[in-house]
Amino acid sequence: MCPTIGEEVGGRRTDRTDRVVEVRGLCKRYGETRALETVGFTVRAGEVFGYLGPNGAGKTTTINILCGLLERDAGEVMICGLDITRDPVAVKQRIGVVPEESNLYPELTCRRNLEYLGELYGLSRAVRRKRAGDLLETFNLTDRGTAPFLALSRGMKRRLTVAAALIHAPELVFLDEPTAGLDVPSARALRGLIQSINRDGATVFLTTHNLAEAEALCDRVFILVKGHGVTEGTAAEIRRRVEKTRTLMLILSGDVAKGSLREACPAIHSASLVDGTWRLEVTDPHAAVAQIVFFAEKYGVRVLEIRTATASLEDAFMEILKDNVAGPKGTV
């Protein structure tokens, strides 16, 4: 059974707040380099929050500050209702961290790794043994319990690293590139485990370069570019903000020249034909559909299929990067 929030662990009971992470005006500099500049965001209890950005945007710096591993230059950081500077130990008891590179001991067995971390968190022997067994079962690693960590496959190592972050039933779990380098089956299995962790009550703070993964997992995302927050919201909201045109996918019976289609349908800004399907860029889908139907009736062409194609989060992300390539225009 995966750890659940509010469960008593070693005599300690976790509490949940509406806002698990609150960051305001966060700044961090390395010499003349501004790694983070007045960054602000909120993570709500029970959500999967995606923290996205290109390499060098400041994602790892942010996580290190939120976990108490790095001092900030300015700003406020509250984790689970606690100030990270004034109550670092209390904060660390409430969070779990899965770094990009595993921090487990290669020579220890899977079970011993989990039990040892439970010991560091102050769990009693009985509690840490039970939780280690439960986590091995949840992450489908029971038969590898006596195997040393170094003998595991890459996918199994990632699963055990996530399991280790949950040994003390944290309220908030930081996942830094959890599926990086995994094959498709292993990555898919780990995404399922992340969803399971979240359903069981943990708030998840996720960084990933896989935008399809972020779109599938995250309730909201925050995009960071050059140390500045540039946009925040659900994937659908962010897609709508950057869409200058809408895309229609159209299949017609008969041979239609691109020029004649565009001339007859002024609402179509561009048209391309790939494998029998027209890809049309339009600003007014309603007007475009009406013009296409009129065109088909006039020239004896049948409309076999017409549908809208929604931009992906990756499409929106690339548009945002393009708009901010010369430097972000503002912060959120």
pLDDT per residue over 32-42, tens digit each?
899 999 999 99
Q: What pLDDT score was predicted for residue 280?
A: 86
For the stretch 21-75, pLDDT in tens is: 999 999 999 998 999 999 999 999 999 999 999 999 999 999 999 999 999 999 9
For the stretch 237-259, pLDDT in tens is: 998 887 766 788 888 887 777 66
Q: Are residues 270 and 198 in the same domain?
A: no
Q: Are residues 63 and 203 in the same domain?
A: yes
Domain count, the chain: 2
Instruction: Compute the distance between CA of residue 223 and CA of residue 128 in angstroms, rounded to an integer.
Output: 37
What is the span of the domain harbouring residue 34?
8-239
Q: What pLDDT score was predicted for residue 91?
A: 94
Residue 230: inside a domain: yes
Q: Write the CA distances from 168 to 128, 219, 266, integer angstroms.
A: 8, 25, 62
Task: Confirm if 302 and 254 have CB atoms less than 8 A apart.
Answer: yes
Instruction: Compute the distance between CA of residue 166 and CA of residue 131 in angstroms, rounded to an integer.
Output: 9
- Give me the phi and psi of 66, to 5 degrees please: -65, -30
Q: Are residues 86 and 217 in the same domain?
A: yes
Is the pLDDT score of 8 beyond 60? no
Task: Confirm if 61 and 137 have CB atoms less than 8 A apart.
Answer: no
- Domain termination site, one of 239, 270, 293: 239
- Give me the phi and psi of 180, to 5 degrees please: -60, 130
Q: Are residues 126 and 97 in the same domain?
A: yes
Q: Which pLDDT band, with edges at 50, 70 and 90, does 114 fall under?
A: very high
Residue 322: inside a domain: no
Q: Are residues 54 and 112 in the same domain?
A: yes
Residue 254: inside a domain: yes
Cα dihedral 84→88→92→97 (10° resolution): 60
Instruction: Compute the distance between CA of residue 208 and CA of residue 134 in angstroms, rounded to an integer.
Output: 27
For residue 289, give the CATH number of its domain. 3.30.70.980
* Angle, CA of 280, 281 and 285, to the nearest 5°: 90
* Angle, CA of 323, 327 and 329, to the nearest 5°: 70
What three-state secondary structure class fits 252?
A: strand
Residue 326: inside a domain: no
Percentage of the chain beyond pLDDT 90 is 61
Is the pLDDT score of 6 beyond 90? no
Residue 225: inside a domain: yes
- Minimal CA–CA distance to 44: which of 209, 187, 165, 218? 218
* Angle, CA of 180, 48 and 231, to the nearest 5°: 90
Is the pLDDT score of 2 beyond 70? no
For the stretch 262-312, pLDDT in tens is: 888 888 888 888 888 888 888 888 898 999 898 888 888 888 888 877 778
Residue 321: inside a domain: no
